[in-house]
Amino acid sequence: MSNSVKKLALALMAFFGAAALAAHAATPAKPTPRPAVARDWSKAVTFTQAGGIMRGNPAARVRLVEYISYTCPHCAHFDGEATPAIDASYVKSGKVQVEVRPFVRNMFDVTASLLAHCGGPERFFGNHAALLASQTTWIKPASTADEKTLQRWSNPDFATRMKLIAGDLGLTALMRKRGYTEAQLNTCLADRAMAQKFVDLTNSAVTDHNVQGTPSFLINDKLQDNVWDWQALRPMLDKSLP
């Protein structure tokens, strides 16, 4: 082989060798796989077939149903004490789903329930918490109403009656602070079909589950007897976990 051919061969070898090294160097390293982020099931909210509103994993093996009256002081105490703990320890991980069903005892419960449901499932739990947290404020006008006010609240037109009650109790102002317009609130307060669903759910609670007061709780469709607060409910919930 002539010297010129040898030089060409060496040059080609050097060229392709350098190119191969460059290509190898340019190949990106495989990215380190990131650990999967656990889903926060407390953000999953939907209507249930029974007519309540559920938060959590639909496939959870433990189903907690809360029957709540918005005029019930024990319900307000329970929500403030228990809901953060239930979400953090049971719902977020997907172990437990929680369904809230209204238990209406009077016209004030109906009014508050209509407002809690205003905006659909996505807004329910925020409204629910706000109504219960402010219960001691808005319940006062209801408990001290005079005869003239009671007559106003007996207006035969359903939408007018609900609007008057909501306004006089300060519930309209509360919901306006939560971003609702007056027109939106009036539409929700006029929903007589929804109000009838609340009545039907209440009747079903009594006849089908023997619910006698609030708050009351079902775990996997079984009424928890003599359980009225978080201290009593928590061990029952733990016992039900697989």
Q: Which range has the worst mean pLDDT, 17-21, 64-68, 190-194? A: 17-21
pLDDT of amino acid 14: 44
pTM of the model: 0.84
**What's the rounded mean pLDDT across residues 56-67?**
98
Q: Checking phi first, is residue 65 left (phi over 0); if not, alpha (psi -120 to 50) or beta?
A: beta
List of domains in the chain: 51-240 (3.40.30.10)
Integer Cα distance of 132 and 117 in angstroms: 14
**C-alpha distances in angstroms, 41 versus 1, 91, 96, 111, 194?**
76, 6, 9, 29, 27
pLDDT, tens digit, 9 for 90 and up, residues 129-181: 999 999 999 999 999 999 999 999 999 999 999 999 999 999 999 999 999 99
Please say whether the beta carbons of 97 and 57 come within 8 A.
yes
Q: Round to whole Å and give the CA distance between 172 and 166.
A: 5
Which tokens sit at 215?
Answer: 């708050």
The pLDDT tens digits for 200-232 are 999 999 999 999 999 999 999 999 999 999 999
Q: What is the pLDDT of residue 32?
A: 66
For residue 11, is pLDDT > 70? no
User: In this predicted model, what pLDDT tens digit does every residue of 99-114 receive, in sequence order?
Assistant: 999 999 999 999 999 9
